[in-house]
Amino acid sequence: MYSLIFRTLLTRLDAETAHHLSFTGLRALDRMPGLRRLSRAVMSRGTLDPVEVLGLRFPNRLGMAAGFDKNAIGIRALTQMGFGHVEIGTVTAHGQPGNPRPRLFRLLGHNAVLNRMGFNNDGAAAARLELLRAREDIAKLPEDQRPIIGVNIGKTKVVEAADAAEDYRQSAAQLAPLADYLVINVSSPNTPGLRDLQSAEALEPIITAVRGAAAEAVGTPRSSLGHVPLLIKIAPDLADEDVLAVADLALRTGVDGLITTNTTIDRSVLTGADRAFAESEAGGISGEPLAERAFEVLRLVRSHVGDKLTVIAVGGIADARDAAARLGAGADLVQVYSGLIYGGPLWPGRMLRTLRRKP
């Protein structure tokens, strides 16, 4: 039924408008206690499967990737669908409008999405206020249903690369006290020059600044690791040797994990009309075409670092089989985004129930 509604109605709307309408509807359900309990009972039935990762207790291994809830306005609402963690953001130190619309497009022939959002968000101060409210909201849930909250931070567009470390530090100082874990995003293709910060020379000062700000701001972290866990989200378009260089830097600087991967700028993952369209538009591609390279990067990282880093897999996960394959290849957790757009609100719960049945 969702597939029918999606293909006949939602695809007639601009993709960003459809996103806002569906997210608004989900949040409206969450504000009505009776409907919230009913929708949670239907959508998240049988999704509890606790696991400890990063010194934190996750209700299950499936999370909502960054990009869906940029301003932390619907964390509890997203857990209705069964997600064990929600990664909000990307948040920048200063609010910014992002790139001009239209900036979000469906690639229907490939179950994919093309976006050039450009870190549109209200800024770290506003996110902090929303996270305070979110913490109050999820405290009302039974303890075993409370999601883990990740906070993904990025560089403000107008800030020069030379000042990036201070920009990330400002975000971390405000948001670390309310985050279960932090993510440094240096891999979005939609902020000019951002991916250049993946080099060891540029990335190490950012890591140092974020870790220092978090340690100063958080006296008693929620993680049993004794600090706010810190991860780096990397691009799939890095050469293998550059992926390994980031992994080595993470090991050397005490970063706790990597997220593999962000969106790709490689148009060769598409064919036909979708490829022709994507070649005429800027932005990163997510969804099923990303799966092969994201899987390669996951396996490369895991084989290189062993069990020394947590690895979260994201990119092209379309069903429980894909999720199981990522976990089998060494991912500790998996995240989704485009799959939810094409699969609908019952999709995460179905995936989790199927994963629990797998031997």
**Does the annotation place 90 within a ligand binding site?**
yes
DSSP one-letter code for 41: H
Q: Which residue among the candidates 187, 188, 223, 286 is catalytic per the annotation?
A: 188
Structure tokens given for 310: 């947590």
Structure tokens given for 151: 């906070």
**Does the annotation place 7 within a ligand binding site?**
no
**Does the annotation place 315 within a ligand binding site?**
no
CA distance 126 to 131: 9
CB 49 within 8 A of CB 323: no
Place of tokens 């092969």: 292
**Does the annotation place 157 within a ligand binding site?**
no
**Does the annotation place 295 within a ligand binding site?**
no
**Does the annotation place 111 within a ligand binding site?**
no
Instruction: Report CA-CA distances (Å) from 240 to 60, 203, 207, 284, 294.
Output: 30, 17, 21, 19, 12
Question: Which long-range CB contacts under 8 A does 5-11 form with residues at least 24 apart?
Answer: 6/342, 6/344, 11/106, 11/108
**Does the annotation place 116 within a ligand binding site?**
yes
**Does the annotation place 190 within a ligand binding site?**
yes
**Does the annotation place 287 within a ligand binding site?**
yes
**Does the annotation place 263 within a ligand binding site?**
yes
- Catalytic, 187? Answer no
- 3-state SS class at 57: strand
Residues tagged in the binding site annotation for FMN? 66-70, 90, 152, 185, 233, 261, 287, 316, 337-338
Residues tagged in the binding site annotation for substrate? 70, 115-119, 185, 190, 262-263
Q: What residues are annotated to the active site?
A: 188
